[in-house]
Structure 1
Amino acid sequence: MPKVVHVIGNGHASNLYTPQKGIKICCTLPPFDIPNIALSCMVDFKMMKALHEGSIQNPYTWVLGFRPKLYMEKNSGFHIKHMGHIKEFYTTLPAYAGKGGQGYTNLNCGHFALHYTANKVAPEEIHLWGFDSLMDFDIRSRTDFYLNSDRGSMNTQRLSQTWRTVTHGIFDEFSHIQFVVHHKHDSMKIKKPDNVEIVVHK
């Protein structure tokens, strides 16, 4: 069992990340050049389509969620072409995310990467970088630079509440793991569980 894993999300506070010891797992693509990325987690149809079209490249080893699995099943040539990239399909849907398609919608790429890391990699400690919705009213993602998403105020409010609920569920489910959130302040938007530490970067 590895001791430390760093999950590097796509929130703007990911820029706080500096080279660290431990396994590095990114959400889709790292927000900037980060050496030794072990895994790239992906959950979206639109990312699969962009990779299929060739408008985006992802050179890392992939862990793919429910929707990428469906996309691969419908596009066997694409699947065969990228089999060497794929470590596994991970379709576990925790109850606190919801049921069926809506549940997978509620489980964003950061949640997916966190749940996979906690459940399958099973480290003693997981560091979260760029998980801004947990700390601020901010769901902007660095993936917006290459894939469009709805970041309007109504959608921001809905997603912020949903995403925080799911993140809290992950903290509770894996209460034996220490989570370390890196951010610019320590004012978390949910009640901080005992297994969560906040490291403030000035």
Structure 2
Amino acid sequence: MSALLALSRWIDRLNEWVGRSAAWLVLAAVLISALNAIARKAFDVGSNAFLEIQWYLFAGVFLLAAGYTLLRQEHVKIDVVLSHFSKRTQIIVEAVCIVIFLLPFCGVVIDLVLPLVKQAYETGETSSNAGGLIRWPVYALVPVGFSLLALQGVSELIKRIAFLMGLIEDPTEKKQEKTAEEELAEAILRAQKNQGAAQ
């Protein structure tokens, strides 16, 4: 089981890195959107490529961060019924759902999309819009994103089994660090305290 837990930690680190990296795609999308709006309004210059790259970046954020979201226990759960059961029963139900629903669903999506990615790459498929972008990179985000989600599903399954064996603490506790707003509020409070102490 120690080898499986090591694998789980490696998967967690991978999705942590991918999720944090994908956050930069949001900034890129915002900057491109702002520059595109300025160019269109101020200089009457624009391209459909700028609009499409924003869609591609959004798809990247959504798909690449799916595993990270599962790692952080932020996916939507319907706990109305499950919350009435013991923690052990909840963990068993989640483990069964990972095996029966999540992993097969990821496998089916990857299997269905890979031929489309291959075809788009081989044919050099581009958007039908004037100045549009090639399509295969955004198509490729689907199998990559679902592969990361499936890997995280494997990690979560390992953690749930380890919990049931009494080897680790509850893996369903949200692993949430401080938000940017909380960090800013704490920094302001520290600055106010330092200013008050100096006076």
Q: Which structure has the greater CA radius of gyration?
A: 2
Tell me the TM-score normalised to structure 1 length: 0.23
Tell me the TM-score normalised to structure 2 length: 0.23
